[in-house]
Amino acid sequence: MIRVHNVHKSFAALQVLRGIDFNIREGEYTALLGQNGAGKTTLLRIIASLSRPTSGEVSINGFNLPKQAEQVRRQMGVVSHDPFLYGDLTAEENLKFYGKLNNLENLQERVLSVLEQVDLSVRRYDLVRTFSRGMQQRLALARALLHEPDLLLLDEPFSGLDFKSSQNLTDLLNGLHAKGTTILMTTHDLDFAITHCKRLLLIKQGKLVKDTETQNLSRDELVAAFG
């Protein structure tokens, strides 16, 4: 599903990514780990076609980035630090706007379905600018799921969520994984990654230093790898 080969990214003289290589198979649930500044968000943005690598190759389900970005975006949903929502539109209006951009069929049905998935049905007519950070995060996830993507990219998706919302998101992601959705997410929560993700990628100073099945790595070993 995801192929990353020898990816470098620099901002002027600052090297953020240094020769990243990995492949993610269809249906894998993968955590991208690393300390602040390690390059996780930069790498996720490149995979999401929101940024271009300085050098190297990225392909999604056989489509090459950035040349075939349009085909790639049809297959993926993205939740980043920016929710990409319009504050002066309601939750339902935001989702309908994005659904029309993607020419979705049965749009009203899909909008109601994803609002139910993220527990925002009762706020469907409220303006997004009245939402808390956590509610906006949940609506951003609904936006990402609207077109039923094969690949879901999430950058710290639990940021701003309370305990109940975090548990609901955990259950939702586990359900999507069970149905075959490929999930790649950044997180600082090592316990979550070990408990729920099947594969771990650890980046340190722009380099991939660990790529392993979760079952092959203990928490102590993972903590030591961060050092």
Q: What is the model's pTM?
A: 0.91
Mean pLDDT score, 5-23: 95
* Confidence bin at 226 (pLDDT 50/70/90): confident
Compute the radius of gyration of the chain from its Cα atoms.
Answer: 17
Distance of CA 156 to the CA centre of its chain: 8
Mean pLDDT, the chain, as a whole number? 93
Whole-angstrom Cα distance, residue 181 to residue 15? 32
Whole-angstrom Cα distance, residue 188 to residue 142? 22
Give the model's pLDDT for residue 227. 66
Query: For 109-125, b where at least 16 C-beta lie within 10 A, e where not — what string?
Result: ebbeebbebbbbeebbe
First to last CA, the chain: 31
Segment among 52-56, 117-121, 204-208, 215-219 with least mean pLDDT: 215-219
